[in-house]
Structures are given as C-alpha cells and as structure tokens.
C-alpha cells in the first residue's frame, strides 16, 4: 500500500466520523494546523465545504474527497 493509498483509507474513515475524526487518528500521524500528516501526506477537512476532505502529497494538485452518496 502506498502512502497516498493509506491516506485515502483514513479519509474514508474520517469523512464518516464528522467532527469526531481526531479520535481515530493513527498513532503515527502528526497533527498539523490544517489536519493531520500521515507518512508525509497531509490530509484535512475542508473548512468551506462540510463533509469534504483534501489530500496534499506535495507533488500533485490538492485532491478533494467527499462521502459517497448512498442509494435509498
């Protein structure tokens, strides 16, 4: 699993937790002003779009993730 794949897995968990996401942060994660750094990848909640998270790997443009819609 790459660092980006690991960060994406945590984003999937954090999106579902809402504001309680810090309770599930990995022990090797480093808190930052904007979110958390995991294996050199920074992720965090978007302050302007509730339910949206961003991922910054320092190389590619910032990617955004949101919870998938479920069929009713």
Q: What is the pLDDT of residues 3-56, one digit of tens each?
A: 999 999 999 999 988 889 999 999 999 999 999 999 999 999 998 888 899 999
Q: Is residue 72 part of a domain?
A: no
Interval 43-70 mean pLDDT: 88
Residue 24 confidence (pLDDT): 92
Please give the C-alpha separations between residue 58 and each of 6, 10, 16, 63, in angstroms, as whole numbers.
16, 18, 25, 11
Task: Show the domain range for 54.
Answer: 3-66
What is d(CA 70, CA 62) in angstroms, rounded to the nearest whole number?
A: 25
pTM: 0.85
pLDDT at 67 (0 to 100): 78
CB proximity list for 46: less than 8 A, separation 6 or greater: 52, 53, 54, 64
> CB of 41 within 8 A of CB of 7?
yes
Residue 62 within any structural domain of the chain: yes
Number of domains in the chain: 1
Residue 18 falls inside a structural domain: yes
């Amino acid at each position: 699993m790459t660092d980006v794949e690991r960060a994406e897995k945590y984003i999937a968990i954090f999106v579902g937790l809402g504001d309680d996401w810090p309770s599930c942060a990995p022990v090797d994660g480093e808190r930052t002003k904007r979110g958390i750094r995991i294996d050199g990848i920074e992720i965090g909640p978007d302050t302007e779009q509730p339910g949206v998270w961003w991922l910054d790997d320092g190389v590619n443009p910032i990617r955004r993730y949101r919870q998938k819609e479920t069929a009713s």
